[in-house]
Structure 1
Amino acid sequence: MKRQRIGEGNQPLICTPLVGKQRESIRLELHHVLEKRPDLIEWRVDFFEGIANTEKVLDLAQEIKESAGDIPLIFTLRSVREGGQPVSLNDQEALKLIEAICQKTEVEYVDFELSNSEEAFKELRQVSLESQTQIIASYHNFEFTPESEILLGKIAEAQRLSADVAKIAVMSQNLHDVLTLLKVTLNAKETVDIPLISLAMGQYGTITRMMGGVFGSSVTFAVGESSSAPGQMPIEDLRSVLGILQKSIGQV
């Protein structure tokens, strides 16, 4: 059966990250993750020690995709400015690597940060359309939760740039931050035409990983083998919570 894509279905898809530093550790991590059958897999290539070697990255990305089979793969090169690992690539080199992923692998999604230039977005959009790879336009704030207007502006910008999916991730300091994110998610669900991924990191943010789908988030992230952000739950626990929510809402 063909797997759902982001924005399909009536509950959020569960995505698990791969954050290994070396090829063999990534292979082992992928083996454990696949046993848990997530809906999506994200390869955080900024953790990979061989990131400077394009051919190694392309080869491993295709290997991961082939092993994942019908599970869609997200290729993410998170920058330091948005919470990623330090890498030797500058922005232009990172763009060229992401374009190569679109052109030379079967990866379904690439993450591209909204902090990149509009010219870079247009260039990647053209490449991705030719390869039928979808772009997740993302915004991350690992320090705090911005005001609603700012977050809604980021989502609107993603749509303006013709992204296929918008993503916002913020750090929650309290329950008011959680409410801000959930309200923004519901607002965007009713006003934006592309699927949205929204989540809050940190202790309180765990609530959004469980409840975000009710408000309109299309994807939630869970720990398969290792965590890529604070607040991620084990995939087994998250799947149980989502099942209970779906059953309860269906009964109502």
Structure 2
Amino acid sequence: MSRLKLRNLTLGENEPKVCVSLIARNFEELFAEAMRLNALDCDMIEWRADYFMYVNDPHFMKKAAYFIRYAIEEKPLIFTFRTLQEGGGQSIDLDYYFELNKVMMETGLVDIVDLEFEMLLKKESDVQDFAKLHDVKVLMSNHDGGKTPSNQEMLETIYEMREFGADICKLAVMPHDMSDVLRILDVSNHIQTTKPDLTFTLIGMGDIGRLTRLTGELFGSSITYASNGKHMSAPGQLPIGPLRKGMDVIGLSKPRGR
């Protein structure tokens, strides 16, 4: 499994790293939630800016990023604006989407930006090069909330993300039965055995897909997303406690004394 260093964390080492989403509408909620999440047994925090009411004001967004970084200390921070078409909180202008991500990169406060692959395909952008210039990792993502594509389609999507300059490739799909779940795990295993230098996470959403959130250590996914105790940012997320217990049972690493 590929290893990627982020602050005091290494993706691809032992169990998948547990990420929870920070969802807040205003500054008061934002700081309180950031403090609450920092106290949870999570490894990373994802700021879902698509729920923040000031997202269209770069000045306020920079200020918000400072609040979050102060609150979460040294935990790696993923900046995400999830578009409406991929299950997010609101729509966004294409040009501003790239501008916003660049503004966040320039702050030096975020460690990863989540860029939707479909947005990158819509318009040529230097956002990937901009990220490298500011030492920010690029997580390219694609979400299919309706189905599980064919094995070949899933592989091609992840490999294309890598060619586009992704440091981390994320694909989330919707399984409808256990056959779909087994195909997701089969694709994950194929990637980790044939492309060991590729950092990725492959998720089956919904209740049926929960197994895929537990088995990353076995099948190669480097990040798993958990409920933050108040919200699920995607269907099928487990609370942190049960998620960690499940990974301890299924995984290969020695439990951390939980």
Using the size of structure 1 for normalisation, the TM-score is 0.92
1:205 aligns with 2:218: no
Q: How does 1:173-212 map to 2 (within 5 A)?
A: 173-192=176-195, 193-212=197-216
Contact 2:172 2:202 in 1 (8 A): yes
Distance 2:149 2:120 in 1: 21
CA RMSD, 1 decimal: 1.8
Distance 1:188 1:122 in 2: 27
Shift, 1:20, TM fit:
1.6
Q: How does 1:58-97 map to 2 (within 5 A)?
A: 58-87=62-91, 89-97=92-100
User: Residue 54 of structure 1 corresponds to which residue in structure 2?
Assistant: 58
User: Residue 234 of structure 1 corresponds to which residue in structure 2?
Assistant: 239
The alpha-carbon distance between structure 1 residues 107 and 244, as it changes in their structure 2 partners (threshold 3 A), is same
1:133 aligns with 2:105: no
Q: Which secondary structure state, in structure 2, belongs to the residue aligned with residue 220 of structure 1?
A: strand
User: Residue 3 of structure 2 corresponds to which residue in structure 1?
Assistant: none
Contact 1:14 1:38 in 2 (8 A): yes
Contact 2:50 2:81 in 1 (8 A): yes
Shift, 1:212, TM fit:
3.0
User: Residue 4 of structure 2 corresponds to which residue in structure 1?
Assistant: none
1:104 aligns with 2:107: yes
Shift, 1:223, TM fit:
1.2
Q: Which secondary structure state, in structure 1, belongs to the residue aligned with residue 61 of structure 2?
A: helix
The alpha-carbon distance between structure 1 residues 121 and 233, as it changes in their structure 2 partners (threshold 3 A), is farther
Letter in 2 for 1:231: G
User: Residue 243 of structure 1 corresponds to which residue in structure 2?
Assistant: 248
Distance 2:217 2:240 in 1: 15
CA distances 1:70-106 after superposition (whole Å, capped 9, x unpaired): 210000011112111123x311101100011111232
Contact 2:41 2:240 in 1 (8 A): no
Shift, 1:31, TM fit:
2.1
Shift, 1:213, TM fit:
2.9
Shift, 1:248, TM fit:
7.7
1:30 aligns with 2:11: no
Shift, 1:122, TM fit:
4.8
Letter in 2 for 1:45: A
Letter in 2 for 1:179: L
Distance 1:121 1:109 in 2: 20
Q: Which secondary structure state, in structure 2, belongs to the residue aligned with residue 238 of structure 1?
A: helix
1:144 aligns with 2:144: no
Letter in 2 for 1:3: N
Q: Which secondary structure state, in structure 1, belongs to the residue aligned with residue 82 of structure 2?
A: coil
The alpha-carbon distance between structure 1 residues 212 and 118, as it changes in their structure 2 partners (threshold 3 A), is same
CA distances 1:196-225 after superposition (whole Å, capped 9, x unpaired): 111111111111111233100001011123
Letter in 2 for 1:169: A
Letter in 2 for 1:31: M
CA distances 1:165-198 after superposition (whole Å, capped 9, x unpaired): 0000011111111111111111111233320111
Unmatched segments (≥5 aa) in structure 1? none
Q: How does 1:107-126 map to 2 (within 5 A)?
A: 107-118=110-121, 122-126=125-129
Distance 2:28 2:67 in 1: 12
Contact 1:122 1:161 in 2 (8 A): no
Letter in 1 for 2:139: I
Distance 2:130 2:253 in 1: 43
Contact 1:165 1:196 in 2 (8 A): yes
Runs ≥4 in structure 1, deviation > 4 angstroms? 118-122, 247-250
- The percentage of counterpart residues that share the same residue type is 29
Q: Which secondary structure state, in structure 2, belongs to the residue aligned with residue 49 of structure 1?
A: coil
Using the size of structure 2 for normalisation, the TM-score is 0.90
Contact 1:212 1:220 in 2 (8 A): yes
Letter in 1 for 2:29: S
Shift, 1:121, TM fit:
6.3
1:170 aligns with 2:173: yes
